[in-house]
Amino acid sequence: MIDESRLAKLAAIRAAGVLPYAERYERTHTLIEARDLAAAQAGDQAAAGQPVRVAGRVLTRRAFGKLLFLHLQDGSGRCQVVLDAGVVGEDSVARFQAWVDLGDHIGVEGDTARTKKGEPSIWARDWTFLSKALRPLPEKWKGLSDGEARQRERYLDLVSNPGTRERFRFRTQFVRAMRRYLDDHGFEEVDTPVLQTKVTGALARPFRTQHNAMDMECVLRIAPETWLKQCVAGGFDRVYEVARCFRNEGMSPAHLQDFTMVEWYAAYWNYRDNMDFTEGLILHLIDSLLGTRLVQVGDVRIDFTPPWPRVSMRDLILDACGIDYATLVDADALRAAIAAKAIRLEAEGLDRMSRGNLIDQLYKKVSRPALVNPVFVTDHPIDLSPLARSNDDDPARVDRYQLVANGWELINAYSELVDPLDQRARFEQQVSARGAGDEDTLPLDEDYLRCMEHGMPPMSGWGMGVERFVALLTGQDNLREVTLFPLLKPLDGGPGEPDDTAAPPAPAADGKPTEQAPAEQMSTEHRALLGAPADDLDDAGLSWTAARALFDEWVTTPSLRRQMEHASVVMGAMARARGANEAAWRVLGLLHNLDFDRVKEPERHCLVAAEALRAAGLHPAGIHAIAAHNDKGLSATGIRCLSVLDHAVSAAEAVVGLVHASSQVLPSKDVADLKLKSLVKRFHKAGFAANVERDLIERCAGAGFELEAFLALALEALQAESVS
C-alpha cells in the first residue's frame, strides 16, 4: 500500500520547487568514514570538526522541535546526523519535518563532531532531498523477520537486518578471495555456455528451453565440466569458471535449482595433488575471511584444522556398519549383506538398484551424516563417475574424492578421464543403463569425445557448490539464506495488494467501472492465452514486418485484408491522438482478425489467432485486446473488454466497416468524398449496414474518445491513407 501521507509530502516537495528524486549527490566520505573522524575527535562538539558530505537512507529520527537527531545508513554503515536549528536555520528543520519520512534518502553537508553525550555525529550545515520512499520501512528494532517477506523483498531484509547484509557481503568476499587465490596460482578464468544443446558434465535433469531462431530445443547447463576440460585441451593449463548452473530437481534446504558452482581444472595434476591444493585454498579462505578454523552451525561445531582425514568410501562404510563392499561383487550380494545387517535404506526401487547406487545409498545412510569435520572421502565406485579416471590398480573404482563437512558434500573432484576409448565405453555404458530404465545418465557426447581423441593432458579438477560453502561458513542451514533473490512463486494480486504492474481496468463504454471477469470463469488455457489487459504497450513483441508476414500468411480474402489494413490505420491514428505506442497499436489493428479466413465460428474466432500470436511473441495484453473484440463470441472464456487498448481494437475494427459501407453508397464510391456529417448520420441509422456493430464502435469511449470525435478521427485517417 502506497502511503497517502508520503504522497502528500512528495507533492509538497514538488510544489516547493524541489526535486524529490535528485540526479546525483557529491559525497566526500562514507558514513562510517565520517563517523570514525568524529569518533577520533575530543568528546565535545565545540572541537573543530572535519567538513564532510555524506548521503544515505534515513533510518531513525528523534525530534526535539529545534534540534533533530537522525541515523543515516549507507553501504558502509550508520552514522548519526544532527540538525540544529541554530546551525541550519529553523526553516530548514521545519522543511525536514514536513518532507522527510523514514526510508527517504538525503544528502548532508556538515562537520564531524561528538554530541554532549559523546555520540560521533555529523552536524549538518545543509541537507538535500535525494529520494522519496512511498512505502515505510520494516519495524526499526526487530527488522523484517517473516521468512517469505525476507525473500520476496530482500532489499528490506538488507536494509533492516544487518546480519543479512553481512552474510551477502561475506558471499561476495568469498568468491572474490577464491578468484584471487586461483588467479595467484596460475589459473585463468573463462566463460563457457549456459545455453547448450546437450546435457553434459554431471548426472542431473536439465531445464529445457526453446531457441526460436534456430528452431531447436536447448538446455541450461547442469555443469561446465566438459567445456572447461576442452579449454585445458586447447592449452589453458589451469582454468576455472564461476558458473551459474541449473538443475531441474527436487528442492530442499541443501538444493537450489539455480546455483553457483566454481569449477577448476589443472593439467598434469592427479586427485592427490588436487587434495593438497584444495586444503591450502580452503584454509586460506577460512583464515582470511573468518580468522578462525572453528565454525558453528546450529549446535554443531566444525573444526577445519588440518590435515583433513583422507578415507576411502570402502573403509568408511566398513567402519560404520561392517560391510565390505569390495568383497561383494554384485548388487544382489550387497543387497543381501545390507538386509543381513538389518539396515533399512529408505530409497525407492532398491530391488532394481545397481551395485554402485546401492553403495552410494549405503554411504549416505550410514556414513555421511556422521562426517562433521572436513573429510576427503575417496575412491568411489566407478558406476557413478562416468567422467572420472579409473584406478590403475583397481578398475572397479575411480580416482575421486568428495570433501564432506557437516554432512554436506561441498566439493566433488577427480583425476579426469582423458582416455578417449575408455570414455567412449563409459558413455556407452551410460546409454545402455538409460535403455535399462535409468533416467539419469549421460548421453553420448560426440563433440567431447572428439576433443579427447585429439589429445588431452592428464589433469584433475573439481566443482564446489558456492552456496553450500558460504552457508556453512556463515552458520546457515538453508541455501536460500545465502541466495539474494531465490525463486518464489508469484503472488497473484490479492486483496489489498493489487498487482502493481497491471493496468487498472478502464471505464466501460457506459462510463461505469468494469471489473475483471472472475478468473475461475476462464479455463486455464484461455487464461494463459489471453493474458492481462493493459492500456498501452511498451513493445508489441512483434515487429511490423513480422506482423505483416503473419498477415500475408493467414489472410487471403481481399475484402478482409482491406478491412484489417484499415483497422491498422485507425489504430495508428488513435495511438497518435492518445500519445500511445503507435507502432504497437498498428500491429494490433493489422492482426485483429488474423484467423477470420480460417475460423468462422464466433465462439472460436480469435482463439486460434491467439495461439498463433502467442507463439509469434505478441505481448499478452495485445492478445487480450484482440480477443476482447470478439468478447461476445468468446463469452464462455470469460474474456471481457476492459482496458483502453481493448476498447480501441473493438472500436477501430468496427468503425472501418461503417466508413467503408458509407463510402460505397456515394456516387464516386470514394472515401475521399465522404463527409463526417453523413458518416454520423449513417451511424445512427440502424438499417444502414446493419451488420456493422454500433456498440463496438461506441467502445471508443472506453479508449477515451467521444463518439463524433472518434468518427472524425477514423474518417480523416482513412482519407489520408487513401490519397497517399
Partner RNA sequence: GCCCGCUUAGCUCAGUUGGUUAGAGCAACGGAUUCUUAAUCCGUAGGUCCUUGGUUCAAAUCCAAGAGCGGGUACCA
CB of 46 to RNA, least distance (A): 9
Contact indicator for 120, 105 with CB cutoff of 8 Å: no
Q: Which residues pair with 645 in a beta bridge?
A: none
The CA distance from 178 to 603, in Å, is 62
Strands 459-465 and 408-415 come out as antiparallel
The CA distance from 265 to 228, in Å, is 7
> Which residue of 14, 62, 454, 669 would you call a contact of RNA, by CB under 7 A?
62
Please, which residues have CB within 8 angstroms of residue 579's CB and are 6 or more apart in sequence? none
Q: Which of residues 638-697 bind RNA (CB under 7 A)?
A: none
Q: Which residues pair with 260 in a beta bridge?
A: 244
- Cite the DSSP H helix spans in 290-326: 313-321
In the sheet that 208-211 helps form, which strands lie side by side, from edge to edge?
A: 195-196, 216-220, 208-211
Between residues 148 and 601, which has the closer beta carbon with respect to RNA? 148
3-state SS, residue 408: strand
> Which residue of 54, 72, 144, 623 would you call a contact of RNA, by CB under 7 A?
144
Contact indicator for 345, 368 with CB cutoff of 8 Å: no
Taking the CA of residue 167 as centre, how many other CA atoms within 13 Å lie in the half-sphere pointing to its CB? 26
Which three cell numbers mark 58?
534515513
Distances (CA, A) of 551 to 231, 414, 457, 613: 47, 57, 57, 11
Contact indicator for 581, 537 with CB cutoff of 8 Å: yes
The CA distance from 518 to 524, in Å, is 12
CB of 406 to RNA, least distance (A): 13
> What's the angle, vertex CA 210, arms to CA 204 and CA 215, rounded to 5?
125
> Which residue of 116, 512, 677, 684 would you call a contact of RNA, by CB under 7 A?
116
The CA distance from 577 to 561, in Å, is 25
CB of 9 to RNA, least distance (A): 6
Total number of residues binding RNA (CB under 7 A)? 77
CB of 94 to RNA, least distance (A): 10
Burial 676-691 (b: 16+ CB within 10 A, else e): eeebbebbeeeeebee
> Which residue of 142, 600, 677, 684 would you call a contact of RNA, by CB under 7 A?
142
CB of 60 to RNA, least distance (A): 4
Other Cβ atoms less than 10 A from the Cβ of 44: the count is 11
Strands 375-378 and 310-312 come out as parallel
Distances (CA, A) of 592 to 257, 461, 627, 636: 40, 57, 8, 19
Q: Which of residues 476-535 bind RNA (CB under 7 A)?
A: 478, 480, 486, 488-489, 491-492, 494-496
CB of 93 to RNA, least distance (A): 9
Which residue type, as a one-letter code, is found at position 347? A
Q: Which of residues 79-98 bind RNA (CB under 7 A)?
A: 80, 82, 84-86
Question: Is residue 143 near RNA by the rule CB under 7 A?
Answer: yes
Question: Is residue 147 near RNA by the rule CB under 7 A?
Answer: yes
Q: Which of residues 295-314 bind RNA (CB under 7 A)?
A: none
> Which residue of 35, 71, 624, 699 would you call a contact of RNA, by CB under 7 A?
71
Which of these ranges, 231-239, 347-355, 602-610, 683-691, lies near RNA under the rule CB under 7 A? 347-355
The CA distance from 707 to 680, in Å, is 9
Between residues 48 and 549, which has the closer beta carbon with respect to RNA? 48
> Which residue of 36, 43, 61, 598 would you call a contact of RNA, by CB under 7 A?
61
CB of 701 to RNA, least distance (A): 27
Please, which residues have CB within 8 angstroms of residue 524's CB and are 6 or more apart in sequence? none
Which three cell numbers mark 673?
468524398
Which of these ranges, 66-74, 267-275, 552-560, 696-704, lies near RNA under the rule CB under 7 A? 66-74
Question: Is residue 234 near RNA by the rule CB under 7 A?
Answer: no
Contact indicator for 37, 124 with CB cutoff of 8 Å: no
Between residues 70 and 652, which has the closer beta carbon with respect to RNA? 70
Which of these ranges, 109-117, 280-288, 300-308, 526-534, lies near RNA under the rule CB under 7 A? 109-117
Question: Is residue 133 near RNA by the rule CB under 7 A?
Answer: no
Query: Which position has the grid cell 565406485?
Result: 381
Q: Which of residues 30-59 bind RNA (CB under 7 A)?
A: 45
Which of these ranges, 197-205, 271-279, 310-318, 523-531, lies near RNA under the rule CB under 7 A? 197-205
CB of 356 to RNA, least distance (A): 10
Which of these ranges, 140-148, 260-268, 329-337, 701-709, lies near RNA under the rule CB under 7 A? 140-148
CB of 560 to RNA, least distance (A): 42
> Which residue of 351, 392, 439, 510 would you call a contact of RNA, by CB under 7 A?
439
Between residues 463 and 589, which has the closer beta carbon with respect to RNA? 463
Question: Is residue 343 near RNA by the rule CB under 7 A?
Answer: no
Question: Is residue 119 near RNA by the rule CB under 7 A?
Answer: yes
Strands 67-74 and 77-84 come out as antiparallel
Question: Is residue 704 near RNA by the rule CB under 7 A?
Answer: no
> Which residue of 67, 326, 546, 608 would you call a contact of RNA, by CB under 7 A?
67
CB of 536 to RNA, least distance (A): 25
> Which residue of 50, 76, 115, 257 would you call a contact of RNA, by CB under 7 A?
115
Which residue type, as a one-letter code, is found at position 406? N
> Which residue of 51, 136, 457, 458 would you call a contact of RNA, by CB under 7 A?
136
The CA distance from 105 to 714, in Å, is 49
Q: Which of residues 235-294 bind RNA (CB under 7 A)?
A: 247, 249-253, 255
Question: Is residue 158 near RNA by the rule CB under 7 A?
Answer: no
- 271-289 helix and 162-184 helix, angle to the nearest 10 degrees: 140
> Which residue of 11, 21, 139, 428 would you call a contact of RNA, by CB under 7 A?
139
CB of 458 to RNA, least distance (A): 23
Q: What is the dihedral of CA 20, 24, 27, 32, to 10 degrees?
A: 60
φ, ψ at 20 (rounded to 5°): -75, -15
Between residues 270 and 354, which has the closer beta carbon with respect to RNA? 354
Q: Which of residues 199-228 bind RNA (CB under 7 A)?
A: 202-205, 222
CB of 368 to RNA, least distance (A): 8
CB of 583 to RNA, least distance (A): 36
Which of these ranges, 14-22, 358-366, 387-395, 667-675, lies near RNA under the rule CB under 7 A? 358-366
Between residues 409 and 708, which has the closer beta carbon with respect to RNA? 409
